Amino acid sequence: MIRLDQRPDPHASRVARVRNGAGVPDASRRAAGSRPVKRAVHHAQCASRRWAGAAAVAIALAVSAARAAPVAIVAVESVYGDIARRIGGDNVAVASVLVSADKDPHEFEASAETARLLARAKLVIYNGAGYDPWVVRLLSASPSNSRDIIEVSGVARRKAGDNPHLWYDTAAISALARTLAAKLGEIDPAHRPEYAGGLEAFDTSMAPLRKKIAAMRGRYAGTPVTATEPVFEYMADALGLVMRNSRFQLAVMNGTEPGASTIAAFERDLRNRSVKALLYNTQTEEALAVRMRSIADEAGIPVVAITETLPPDETYAQWMLSQLDALDRALARR
C-alpha cells in the first residue's frame, strides 16, 4: 500500500492525500531459499555450507521461475488497470495511480513514490490528451529501453484538446484492448495464446454493454440532457443524446469560471425543463456544479451520478452498465 500526494482542490478543503488501493508489484520480495541460508549461519560450518548449497539451488530455481514472473504493468488510471488484468490474467501484475473514485483526478500531483512506481514498470498505460500530463514528465525523467508505453489517446486517435474521458468511448476501449493484447504478446511471447484468450474474454464481457447502448439509443436518441462536466460526452454521443451546455462543462472541468450568460443558459434549461436529465460528476464539488444540482432537484429534473474513476471492485463493463441503468431509469421517468 503506498500513499500518493494530491494537490488540494482550491475550491474545497478536500483531503490532500489519496491511498493507492492497488497492489504494487513487489520487486524486493525475498527470494525463495533466503531463509534457510540465514538459519544455516547458526549451525556448524559444514552444515552451513550444505545449507548454502541447497539455498543456491533454490535461488537458481527461483531465477528460472522468475522468467515466468508476471509482466509489471502500471496502468495510471485504474480503469485501464482493470482491462489489463482481464487480458493479462496471472501473467501480469498491475498497479494503478489514479484509483480514488471520490477525488478529482485532474487535481492529482505526482509524488516521488509515483515516479518510482513508473520507473519500475515494464509496461506503462496512461490516458494522455492532457488528462495526466505529469506522466510524460516522470517517464522522461527515468528513461528506459526495456519499458513499453501505451498512450490510450493515441490508440483512440484523439489528441490534446479532445475530451480526455476516453473510457466512455467503447470503441476506444476495444482498440486499447487489442493494442494491449498485442503488446503483451510481444513483451511475453510465451503467453501469447493466453493474451489472445484474455482479449476474447474481454470482448465477450463488452457484449451486454454494446447491447444496452443500442437499446437505449433506440429509445432515447434525440433526447436533450445536460451535465456539470464533459465526463459522459462520448457515451452520450453513442446513445444519440443531445448534450447541452458544453461550454459550461468545459469551464468546470478546467476549474475556470463560466461567463454569466453561460451560467444563465444552464439554469434556464433546468428551470424550463428543456433537458430530461442532469449528469452529475460526483468526483468534484465545484460550487457551480453543486448549485446546478440543487436547481435540477427543485425543478424535478433527475440527477444521474457519474464518476470518472472506476469504483473499486467493479469491472469496466459493470461500471458502465450500472451508470447506463441509472440513466435509463431517469429518462424513462419523463
- Contact positions vs Zn ion (CB under 5 A): 308
Looking at beta carbons only, is 176 or 252 nearer to Zn ion? 252
Coil/strand/helix, residue 11: coil
DSSP count for the chain of H helices, then E strands: 13, 10
Tell me if 212 sits within 8 A of 321, measured CB to CB. Answer: yes
Tell me if 214 sits within 8 A of 197, measured CB to CB. Answer: no
Cα–Cα distance measured from residue 21 to residue 308, given in angstroms and rounded to the nearest whole number: 17
Rg (CA), the chain: 24
Looking at beta carbons only, is 188 or 229 nearer to Zn ion? 229
CB of 168 to Zn ion, least distance (A): 10
Looking at beta carbons only, is 308 or 328 nearer to Zn ion? 308
Cα–Cα distance measured from residue 73 to residue 85, given in angstroms and rounded to the nearest whole number: 9
Which residue in 274, 270, 275, 276 sits closest to 293, CA to CA? 270
Give the rounded distance of the alpha carbon of 205 from its chain centre. 17
CB of 154 to Zn ion, least distance (A): 19
CB of 229 to Zn ion, least distance (A): 6
Return left, alpha or beta for 312; rule: phi > 0 is left, psi -120 to 50 is alpha, else beta.
Answer: beta
Residue 105: beta bridge partners? Answer: none
DSSP assignment letter at 276: S
Looking at beta carbons only, is 107 or 194 nearer to Zn ion? 107
CB of 60 to Zn ion, least distance (A): 49
The pair phi, psi for residue 170, each rounded to 5°, is -65, -25
CB of 6 to Zn ion, least distance (A): 14
The residue sitting closest to Zn ion, measured at its beta carbon, is 308
CB of 104 to Zn ion, least distance (A): 7
Looking at beta carbons only, is 93 or 251 nearer to Zn ion? 251
Q: Which residues does 46 contact at the CB level (< 8 Å), separation at least 6?
A: none
Cα distance between the two ends of the chain:
46
CB of 126 to Zn ion, least distance (A): 15
Residue 125: beta bridge partners? Answer: 75, 150
Tell me if 107 sits within 8 A of 113, measured CB to CB. Answer: no
CB atoms closer than 10 angstroms to residue 330: 18
CB of 288 to Zn ion, least distance (A): 15
CB of 252 to Zn ion, least distance (A): 9
Looking at beta carbons only, is 93 or 172 nearer to Zn ion? 172
Looking at beta carbons only, is 25 or 81 nearer to Zn ion? 81
Looking at beta carbons only, is 132 or 269 nearer to Zn ion? 132
Looking at beta carbons only, is 233 or 308 nearer to Zn ion? 308
Residue 268 is placed in which grid cell?
434556464
